[in-house]
Structure 1
Amino acid sequence: MTFSPDLEQFRTRVRAHIANHRPELPRLAGTRSPDVETMPRYRQWCASLFTEGLLGSDWPVEWGGEGRADPLREYVVDQELAAAKLPRPVGAWNLVCGALFDYGSPTQKEHHLPRIRSFDDLWCQLFSEPGAGSDLAALRTSAIRVGDEWVVNGQKVWTTHAHVADFGFLLARTDPAAGKHAGISAFVVDMRAAGVTVRPLREMTGSSDFNEVFLDDVRLPADALIGQPGEGWAIARTALAHERGQSLREDSATDRVRRLVELSADDGPVGADAEARRELGRLYARSSVADLLGLEGVLKDAAGHTTVYDAPVVKVLFSETNLDINTYALDAMGARGVLTEGSPQAVAGGLFQDAFLWARGFTISAGSNEVMRNVIAERGLGLPKG
C-alpha cells in the first residue's frame, strides 16, 4: 500500500517530532501505567503529541482539533510510535472527551478539555463492578442527591490507571426504581476526594495497573453530573463509540515474529532448525493476516464502511496469534524462558516473557473472545443464537 502525498507529509511530521522531542521513556506492554518517577516526562510527551496536532484532530476546532476524524493519520502515528519504541497516551482521555463533547456543560468543557489535551490530568474509567462486568447495566454503585451534592457509595474493579489518575469517569445508579438502563447517570470524580480509596491489584505480570476503587460517602458537587440524570447509559455508549474510533492500536504482530527470526539466527536461543523455521513461517503468515485485517479495518473506517463485526474479527485473530507467538518464544527458549526483565541472562531483555504474561489478557479484555465470536456469528454471519 502506498500513502497519498498528504499522508506521507504527515508521516514526515511525525518522524520529525519524534526525532526532536524523543523522551527517555520505555514503551510498555499491554496497558501498563507510567511509573510515578517518570510521570512528569510522560505527561509532557503526551501533551506534545496534541500540541503538534498529531493526535486529537477529531476534536472540535474550538477545542484545538480540526473537527474531523482521520483514521489513516492515527494509523501512521501508531506505526511510528511503535517503530520508535515510544509510549502512547494511556487512560480514559479518549473516552471522557467523547462524553464531554456531546453532553458536557460549558463549564465542564472549559475546565477539563484543555487539561486533557495538555495531559495535566490523567483519567480512569469507573465502569466495571464485581457484580457487573460484562453486564454493565447491572451496576449497583449509587449516587443520591442531597441538597447541592451527590453522595456516592459503591465499588468499582479492574479500573486501569486509577492509582495514577487525577479524575474518574463514573457511572452510578441515581434512580433504583427505573429500568436498569434508564436509572444510570454519569459523573466526574476527583480521585483525591474524601471517601475515594484506590487499592492496586497485583497481577501475574508483576505490575499493578488494575485497581479496586471504593467509594464511601463520596460527596460530589451538583455540577459533577455529566448531562442529565438518567442519561448515563446513552453517554457511555457515545463515549465508547468515540473510544473505539480513536483508540491506538497494538504493535504489529509481524514485527514480533521478525524479532524471533533475528534471535534464531546463527543457532540462537530460539533455535534455527528446520522445525523452528517452519513454525516461524506459520506464525509469520498468521501475523501478516492479522496485520492486514487491521489495516483493512482502518481503510474501511476512513471510508465510512465499517460493520459491527469488523473489530471483533481483528481482535480475535490478533489476540490469539499474539498469544501463540509469545508462547512459542518461551517454549523455544527452554529454561531461559522463565527469566524476566531485569535478569542479565534474560533473552531480549525479557521482552517475550513480559509480552507472554500480557497476551492472555488480550483475549479477555475489550470483550472476551468468546463474546466476540458470538458477535461475529450472530451479527456478521446471521447464525441463530446458541
Structure 2
Amino acid sequence: MSRDGDRNGLEPTAECEAFRDRVREHIAAHRPDMPRLPGTRSPEAAQLPMYREWCASLFSAGLIGADWPERFGGTGAHDPLRDLVVDEELADAQVPRPIGAWNLVCGALFAYGTPEQQGHYLPRIRAFEDLWCQLFSEPDAGSDLASLRTSAVRDGDEWVVNGQKVWTTHAHIADLGFLLARTDPGVPKHQGVSAFVVDMRAPGITVRPLREMTGSSDFNEVFFDEVRLPAGSLIGEPGQGWAIARTALAHERSQSLREDSATNAVRRLVGLAATPAGDGTPLIQDDQVRRTLGRLYARSVAADLLGLEGVLKDAAGGTRAYDAPVVKVLFTETNLDIATYALELLGSRGVLVEEDPDAVDDGHWQKAFLFARGFTISAGSNEIMRNLIAERGLGLPK
C-alpha cells in the first residue's frame, strides 16, 4: 500500500494514491509540535490543548471517524484500506494518533445511546473535547471480565457506584470514563452488568497512577467510593452491559489504529547497524549481523503482509475469529526480537536511557524494548492468543 519503499510489494490503486496524498497534505498543514506517542503513552498536560486540536483536525478532515453514520458526521461507509493508509502515514510522519476509549464508546452510543446521549457526546468526541478512558478491568476480573465486582445501586434518580478498576489507560488525564458495573448480583454474571458514562472528576473517584518499567505512568488504578451518577449516565437498559461491551469492542477492533509496521522497525535497526561502532567499523559489515538482520526483515515483511491480508479480508467481509490473534502474535514477537537485537548491537551503550547525553538515538531502542514486551501482553496476552488460534483455528481441544 505504501508508495515509499514498496513496503509490501503491492501496487496501490489510483484512488488510494489520491487519498494518501490528501492525508500527507493534511499532516503537513496541521502537524502538531509534539512527538508520536509510543505504546500507551499519554500526552503531557502542557501538550493536551495542542493534542486535542490535532485529533479534532483528523476528524474534521474525514481521516478519522469517516465510518460513523451520516447523521453523526460520517459517511456510513467503512473502508479498511483507507484506515490502513491513515495508519501508515501517521506512522511514517511520526505524528500522534488519537488515543483513549473514544472508538470504544462511540460504538456503544451508536447502538444503545439515547438521542440525548448521542447528541451530547458524539459531537464532543469528533471535536476531541472529551478524552475517554475504559473502566472495565478489575484486580480479579481481567480475562474473566464478567466476574467484575464494582457495583452500581439505584438510589432515586441516581446510581451509587463502589469498587475498583485497574490497568485503566489515560485515566489520569481523562475527562470521561466508559464504565461496566454490576447492577444485579442475583442473576448469572453476564446478565447483571450495566454500562455507564462517568465524569472522571466526580466526587468519590480517586485515580492512582501505576509506575511502569518504561518509567511512565499511563496505566492507573481507579477507586469508586459512593460515587453518584445521574440516571441519564446509564447506557441502554440495566443488565445490557455485557451486550453493549461486546458491540463496543467489535467496533473498536474493526476501526482501531494500528501500531507502526514491523518493517519500519527493522529498517531503523538496519540504520543502527550501519552506523560506525567504537572502532569506526559498522557492525553491518559482519556476516552474522547481516544474516540476523535478513531473518528479522523476512519476519517483519511476513507480519506486515499478514496484517494487510487481514485488512483485505475485513474489506471483503471475510475475517475469521483467529485471523487477528495470528497477526498479533507474529507482529508483537517480531517487534520484540527486533528491539532485543538492537540492544545487543548497542552493547554497553544499550543501558543508557534518553536522559543520558551519550544515549544512542535519544534512547529510542531502550524505550522500544520496554514497550515491545508490553505489546505481547496487552490486548490479550500472546498465551491467550495461542489458545484462540489452537481452539478456533486448528480445532484442538481446550
TM-score (ref. length: structure 2):
0.95
The corresponding residue for 1:326 is: 339
Q: Secondary structure at the match of 1:289?
A: helix
> Among residues 304, 328, 344, which one is paired with 2:317 in the alignment?
304
Query: C-alpha distance in 1, partners of 2:298/2:12?
Result: 24
Q: Secondary structure at the match of 1:342?
A: coil
Question: For 2:397, what is the secondary structure of its paired residue?
Answer: coil
Distance in 1 between residues matched to 2:51 and 2:310, nearest whole Å = 29
1:311 aligned partner, one-letter code: A
Residue number among 328, 331, 343 corresponding to 1:315 in the alignment: 328
| Per-residue deviation, 1:3 | 2.2
Q: Which range is displaced more, 216-225 or 250-259?
A: 250-259
Question: How many residue pairs are counted as aligned between the two chains?
Answer: 385
The aligned counterpart of 1:16 is: 25
Deviates more, 1:215-224 or 1:253-262: 253-262
Offset from partner CA, 1:17-72 (integer Å, 9 cap, x none): 01111111101210100110100000000000000001111101011100011110
Describe how 1:67-146 pairs up with structure 2 within 5 A: 67-146=76-155
More displaced stretch, 137-146 vs 25-34: 25-34
Distance 2:376 2:270 in 1: 25
Segments of 4+ moved more than 4 angstroms: none
In 2: Cα distance, 1:225 partner to 1:245 partner: 25
1:293 aligned partner: 306
Partner of 1:186: 195
AA partner of residue 38 (structure 1): Q
Q: Distance in 2 between matches of 1:223 and 1:209?
A: 29
Q: Report how far residue 180 of structure 1 moved.
A: 0.2
Q: Give deviations 1:320-356, integer Å, cap 9, x for gaps.
A: 1111110111111111001111322111111111010
Deviation at 1:200, TM superposition (A): 0.4
CA contact (8 A) 2:273 2:345 kept: no
Identity of aligned residues (%): 73
Shift in CA distance, 333/348, structure 1 to aligned 2, threshold 3 Å: same
Matched, 1:284 2:297: yes
Instruction: Provide the aligned C-alpha RMSD in A.
Output: 0.9
Whichever residue aligns with residue 120 of structure 1, its letter is: E
Match in the other structure for 2:7? none
Q: Distance in 2 between matches of 1:333 and 1:170?
A: 44
| Alignment partner of 1:170 is 2:179 | yes
SS for the counterpart of 1:67 is coil
Q: Is 154-163 or 334-343 further displaced after alignment?
A: 334-343
* Counterpart amino acid of residue 55 in structure 1: I
CA shift at 1:298, angstroms? 0.6
CA deviation profile, 1:197-254 (whole Å, cap 9, x unmatched): 1000000101000000000000000000000000000000000000000110110111
Task: For residue 266 of structure 1, report the CA deviation from its aligned partner.
Answer: 5.0
Range with greater deviation from structure 2 (85-94 or 326-335): 326-335
1:376 aligns with 2:385: no
**TM-score with structure 1 setting the length:** 0.98
Between the aligned partners of 2:85 and 2:350, the Cα distance in structure 1 is: 33
